[in-house]
A and B are shown apart, each in its own frame.
Chain A
Amino acid sequence: AQSVSQHNHHVILSEAASLELGCNYSYGGTVNLFWYVQYPGQHLQLLLKYFSGDPLVKGIKGFEAEFIKSKFSFNLRKPSVQWSDTAEYFCAVNPYSGNTPLVFGKGTRLSVIA
């Protein structure tokens, strides 16, 4: 069965610090990869996705993620975080073809302090 690991449970950063959240998955075939974000009191929304092509994908609000196939990783990055980035971030994966469900990691809570 597929699984997704997010290495950090809670990350605390100061404003303007750089962010990298780790995500590794276990699936041997071609995958679709996603990062979702849940701001306090709001519903989950898509941050960015990777289906194929350039392994460096850009999402909303200055976020980007890099797919490294050899490492089964899809880490999320942002060069300079803002207080408004405080949220919970979820990595998710499903196989490229077929109608299998999206499998989520347990999430990383990001707290950005002024």
Chain B
Amino acid sequence: KAGVTQTPRYLIKTRGQQVTLSCSPISGHRSVSWYQQTPGQGLQFLFEYFSETQRNKGNFPGRFSGRQFSNSRSEMNVSTLELGDSALYLCASRGGDGANVLTFGAGSRLTVL
């Protein structure tokens, strides 16, 4: 079974730009969660999508948004980038049968200059 795939793995943007990150979950998994990982802050929850609907949302500004497609692939978008948005963005999927185990992708490392 293929794991969780995230693209791109690395990207560099400048302040004010916007970025879109993509995540393909494990086949059959309908839930996709996004986390922001920064040194010293650990993993902070951004949002979770299930069957194309946002099921949970973390405490991030509206510049952070996401969506999920009918094939369960998910994208997250950050608009008007700030220096503080530099982080590793992690995507994780889990089965829709109540299983609570998240399987993570390798992440997309965003650097904002």
Q: Which residues of A pack against B, CB within 8 Å? A: 9, 32, 34, 36, 42-46, 49, 51, 90, 92, 94, 99-107
Q: Are the CB atoms of B101 and A49 closer together than 8 Å? A: yes
Nearest residue, chain A, Cβ from B58: A101
A104 touches B43 (CB 8 A): yes
- How distant is the Cα of A33 from the Cα of B111 in the complex, in angstroms? 32
Size class of B's contact patch?
20 to 34
CA distance A59 to B48 in the complex (A): 27
Contact indicator B42/A102 (Cβ below 8 Å): no
Given contacts A43-B104, A104-B44, 15 further A-B contacts (CB under 8 A): A32-B100, A43-B90, A44-B92, A46-B101, A46-B103, A90-B42, A92-B43, A94-B100, A101-B58, A102-B33, A102-B45, A102-B102, A104-B35, A105-B42, A107-B42
| Interfacial chain B residues near A103, Cβ < 8 Å | 45
Chain B residues at the A interface, C-beta cutoff of 8 Å: 31, 33, 35, 40-45, 48, 50, 55-56, 58, 90, 92, 100-107
A102 neighbours in B (Cβ, 8 Å): 33, 45, 100, 102
In the bound complex, what is the Cα–Cα distance between A92 and B103 (angstroms)? Answer: 13
Which residues of chain A are within 8 angstroms of B43 by Cβ–Cβ distance? 90, 92, 104, 107
Q: What residues on B are CB-neighbors of A9 within 8 Å?
A: 40
A106 contacts B41, C-beta separation under 8 Å = yes
A residues near B48, Cβ cutoff 8 Å:
99, 101
